[in-house]
Amino acid sequence: MIEILKAILFGVVEGITEWLPISSTGHMILLNEFVTLNVSEEFWEMFLVVIQLGAILAVVLLFWSKIFPFRFREKPVVQKDIFVLWFKILVACIPAAVIGLAFDDVLDALFYNPWCVAIALIVFGIAFIVIENRNKKMTPAITELSQITYQTALMIGVFQLLAAVFPGTSRSGATIVGALLIGVSRTVAAEFTFFLAIPVMLGASLLKVVKFGFSFTGEEIMILAVGMIVAFVVSVLVIRFLMGYIKKHDFKVFGWYRIALGIAVLAWFTFA
């Protein structure tokens, strides 16, 4: 029961931090210092990634009409614009997919530590504040998903690559920063980031499960299932909040939060 309660807590943190641009990995590492699951190191590394599938299902639920290209009325209808959007999403996935498959273990060994996470939190926190200040008097060039070109999608994908290389950058944070920098509106940047998460996290989760193997114990299955379900429920609430929030506010508050958290992580692992 204690491990299930811990899984619930990790699910809550994942559901909140996966979509807010504040780094789910950074929060999970920090939480793990205080609340540690009684599982093997191999399972923990897999859990940290696969729990995100619950969060991904929230995107599928909330944005189904924007991501599912088929409509069934009197006869089946194919929405070509959604097919085109998916091709753009796949193009944006290419940089992270190539580097992730080729260097997954190397990157984990080099950068998956509190110091790199803290630095990434601070650097991208500053980036949010600087870019939002720069954009304050600028009109976004891209205000609809359909206006995102393949070139724009690839550029956003390059920013996502930073999150794949440096834990703590935040996948959503990196893609949103990149999108804002090249003239995408906050709403479109957030939506494209959500959709981009679907193939990225499905692929990352499959990779981790294959590396872990399929020999789960009953307790491990329960811990993973509970974490994913809780992450799903919390993600639904957080995504709805964020989409309402950014219609009236910018991302600077998340930048300041990232800086504060990064300093806290550095302090904790330096003096603890």
Would the pLDDT of 104 be above 70? no
Domain that holds residue 14: 2-271
pLDDT digits 0-9 by tens, 233-252: 999 999 999 999 998 899 99
Phi, psi of 99 (to 5 degrees): -70, -40
- pLDDT at position 97: 80
In the predicted structure, residue 144 carries a pLDDT above the cut 70: yes
pLDDT in tens, 204-231: 888 888 888 878 888 999 999 999 999 9
Can you read off the two tokens belonging to residue 48? 């940290």
The end-to-end CA distance of the chain, in Å, is 29
Half-sphere exposure of 23 (CA within 13 A, CB side): 34
| pLDDT band, residue 107 (cuts 50/70/90) | low
Predicted structure pTM score: 0.88
When divided into structural domains, the chain yields a total of: 1
Question: Is it the case that residue 174 has pLDDT exceeding 80?
Answer: yes
Q: Round to whole Å and give the CA distance between 226 and 241.
A: 23
* Euclidean distance between CA atoms 272 and 135, whole angstroms: 39
